[in-house]
Amino acid sequence: MKFDILTLFPGMFSGPFDESIIKRAQEKQLIDISLHNIRSWATDRHQTADDSPYGGGAGMVMKPEPLAACIETVKGDNPHSRVVLTSPQGRRLTHGVAEELSNLSGLILVCGRYEGIDERIRILYADDDISLGDFVLSGGEIAAMAIVDAITRLIPGALGSEESARSDSFSDGLLEYPQYTRPADFNGHTVPEALLSGNHELIRKWRRKESLRKTLSLRPDLLNQITLTGEDHKLLKEIQREVSIGDE
């Protein structure tokens, strides 16, 4: 998959993209990441990319001319790529959105800065707006990193184990079950017996129950967004009985 990132601060990406899963995915040629400095498309000698907003107000706004020229150049080289603005006004980045985007051949991620970008860029070029959540960052670079990371994990071969991606939190609409490794006893806290049993069905059922338990405790809203099986309803009843007994 091809990622083109349009930014005023390309140096911000050198650390996150040179380590771990994203680095390996690039080495395997599963993804291709290109950084484009928007200032390179500015026509004045100061490479001006921002200006004060019409109507007054604090802060600066990214100018349309250099950004439009940058988008047109990159889009010309990658005509099938989707142009995405990183913006708090966008739809929330979820696992489902990441899965949707992972099926594309390419993304052009436009990183906003200052008070945002000139609205005409959104009107003329944007195919989508994506937000990390209901908060404001200093710029879209961190959001772009998160988008690339979330998508890369879903590309076959990127993790080395597709089972890992399938069992992550949100992959089936629930939070992930608790994980344990050696030693079996750490400061008096022992690994649940089911995980030590070697019984695959018992382990599967324990993990499903604990996934439901964690979701019920931390994100009960998610339970209304998925289709629960008969087994799930039975496990939820067991969890609720256990909670009731614990409260007595």
Assess whether 231 carries a catalytic annotation: no
Identified catalytic residue from 51, 88, 176, 219: 88
Pick the catalytic residue from 99, 149, 168, 172.
168
- Exactly one of 50, 113, 141, 153 is catalytic; name it: 153
Q: Is 153 a catalytic residue?
A: yes
Q: In the annotation, is 115 catalytic?
A: yes
* Cβ neighbours of 231 (radius 10 Å): 12
180-204: b (≥16 Cβ within 10 Å) or e? eeeeeeeeeeeeeebbeeeeeeebe
Annotated catalytic residue within 65, 99, 115, 176: 115
Amino acid making up residue 91: R
Residue at token pair 């604090």: 58
Signed CA dihedral, 86, 89, 92, 97: sign only = negative
**Amino acid symbol at 120:** R
User: Which residues, at least 6 apart from 170, have a Cβ–Cβ distance to it below 8 Å?
Assistant: 94, 95
64 is catalytic: no
CA 137, 139, 143, 149 torsion: positive or negative?
negative
Positions marked catalytic: 88, 115, 153, 168
